Amino acid sequence: MRSCVLILCVLLTACNTPGFGFSGIAPVRVTVGQSRFDVRVDGARAQAIRVNPEWAPRFTSVAARGAAAMAEVSGCRVARIRGDQAVMLADLDCGPDARLLPAGHAYDCERDHVYGRATELTCTPRL
């Protein structure tokens, strides 16, 4: 019985553990629509881990919200996103024209192309 409790505790503590390259970076908690993410930014890369329960979300719908969360935290445009419904990685475009509105604004994202598990999104700030 003790071993079952120990295994359960280990599994629950790993739910929002950062992936390779993002350990040691404090997460920023962001809510976009019905999804809540812990976002970590490391230079031109970002990681969003969805930390709320959702019933059978599709990657394409969650990816749009994850991209908006990463753009909000980083202030950069999400150039490419990949991953699954729980953990998303993004390549950021932080060029001079890539900065979006400051944190605290909402964004509308549309899916442009899907390449296997990668999706290109276009996100615009809500006015």
Mean pLDDT over each residue of the chain, to the nearest integer: 77
For residue 16, pLDDT beyond 80: no
Phi, psi for residue 45 in degrees, rounded to 5: -130, 150
Q: Is the pLDDT of residue 1 over 90?
A: no
Banded model confidence at residue 9, pLDDT cuts 50, 70, 90: very low
Please determine, for residue 11, whether its predicted confidence score (pLDDT) is greater than 60: no
87-93 vs 77-83, strand pairing mode: antiparallel
Identify which has the larger pLDDT, 13 or 67.
67
Would you state the pLDDT for residue 124?
65
Rounded CA-CA distance 125/46 in Å is 19
For residues 22 and 39, the model is more confident at 39
Please give the Cα distance from 5 to 19 (Å, whole number): 25
Q: Is the pLDDT of residue 101 over 80?
A: no
Pick 1 or 100 by higher pLDDT.
1
In this prediction, residue 10 has a pLDDT band, given cuts at 50, 70 and 90, of very low
SS3 for 33? Answer: coil
Distance CA 30, CA 73 (A): 8
Which tops the pLDDT comparison, 91 or 97? 91
Please state, in angstroms and rounded to a whole number, the distance separating the CA atoms of residues 36 and 30: 6
Between 33 and 110, the higher pLDDT residue: 33
Q: How many CA atoms lie within 13 A of 47 on its CB side?
A: 18
The domain limits of the chain are 2-125
